[in-house]
Structure 1
Amino acid sequence: LDGLAMFREIMDSQMLLKTRPDVKLSTSEDLLRFIVQYGDNVFPNLRVGLQILVTVATSIASCERSFSKLKLIMSYLRSSMGQERLSALALLSVEREVTDSIHFEELIDKFAAAK
């Protein structure tokens, strides 16, 4: 990203939006959608910066949720189970997207057939 070009694009987009009172933007995602709709090549640096901003915010929020759940799991279960089991449950919570995609019934059937 070119900082000076980004600054110019921000100023230009601000001027453009002042001439368009019909456009209401309340979030960075709204601004990104407007820029993509208006034309990617008009504000390329601003588009990339907004994509990074939107992505980072989402990534941080999902990590914060995972750590929040981890804290709840640890405080609730600390007294009643060993560290190894607690670590396994914490890992399942952090990797929830992966565990949601596993079909446990098929896995159990395969395991039972192997025995």
Structure 2
Amino acid sequence: MQIAKSIASKMNVEPTFPTKRCVTRKRHFDELNENDQNDEEVQAVEESFRVNYFLVMIDVAIGSLTKRFDELKSFGSMFGFLFNSKELKSLEDDALRKCCSNFANTFTHNNSSDVDSNDFFSELKVLQMILPNNLMSADEIFEFVRAADCYPNASIAYRILLTIPVTVASAERSFSKLKLLKNYLRSTMSQERLNGLAMCCIEKSMLDNINLDTVIDDFASKNARRSHFL
């Protein structure tokens, strides 16, 4: 209850509880006096708040945090060796092979795996030797692998890592953006146009770095009939 009162004081909320109107009646000699009775009523209200509201909110918060950390822990056990070059280079052969097998088994569907465990292990062993000594993040390693174009299994693994959302915040923002785009005034919008507008809004930071004149010229060159209008 001290935590609840301190939170209420920081929010400029009076930590008072509503109490019922006290009904005066004749008391016998062995009953409590009026002050003791009021104290018991206040304690009963505080106990009700503690049991029915405060403890329930604390349990929900602890359960949510525990679930989130368990999910992050499982995500780290699956993709942890791919997070950066330091993690990748620190693994011995046995540990690296175990991580590759776990990754391949996780993404096996209908007896078909997205990556081959042995080839994946061989590619990562080569990457351990040729990656620069400076610390590289997962997206930087992916750019290195994609530029080399000779590590197919590692490329697939890093694409899976970089496309799986750790939280649902990005998905919720996408739905919020779609709600702004697809309103009742745009009820006849096609799916292709909706996807394009949603992508432009979601990836606005990337769109700001694109030269629009180059895009317009490229679009005009693909359709000779419209070239003279642009």
Q: TM-score, normalised by structure 2?
A: 0.27
Give distance in 1, aligned partners of 2:135 and 2:151: 16
Which residue of the other structure, out of 144, 154, 166, is the alignment partner of 1:34? 144
The equivalences for 1:1-115 within 5 A come to 1-17=115-131, 20-21=132-133, 24-37=134-147, 39-40=148-149, 42-56=150-164, 59-61=165-167, 63=168, 65=169, 95-102=175-182, 104=183, 107=185
Give distance in 2, aligned partners of 1:60 and 1:46: 20
Structure 1 residues 33 and 25: CA distance shift in structure 2, 3 A: farther
Conservation of the 8 A alpha-carbon contact between 1:25 and 1:31: no
Structure 1 residues 29 and 94: CA distance shift in structure 2, 3 A: closer
Q: Please give the per-residue CA displacement for 1:25-70, whole angstroms capped at 9, x wherever unaligned.
A: 5311110011111x22x111000000001111xx233x1x279x8x
Identity of aligned residues (%): 22
Aligned to 1:88: none
Give distance in 2, aligned partners of 1:97 and 1:60: 20
Which aligned segments of 4 or more residues in structure 1 are displaced greater than 4 angstroms? Answer: none
Give distance in 2, aligned partners of 1:98 and 1:44: 34
Deviation at 1:6, TM superposition (A): 0.3
Structure 1 residues 66 and 47: CA distance shift in structure 2, 3 A: closer
Structure 1 residues 2 and 28: CA distance shift in structure 2, 3 A: same
Deviation at 1:100, TM superposition (A): 3.2
Give distance in 1, aligned partners of 2:142 and 2:170: 27
Report which structure shows greater RCO (CA 8 Å, sep ≥6): 1
Conservation of the 8 A alpha-carbon contact between 1:32 and 1:47: yes
Q: TM-score, normalised by structure 1?
A: 0.51
- CA RMSD after TM alignment: 2.9
Structure whose CA Rg is larger:
2
Show structure 1 runs of 5+ residues with no match. Answer: 70-92, 109-115
Show structure 2 runs of 5+ residues with no match. Answer: 1-114, 187-230
SS at match of 1:9: helix
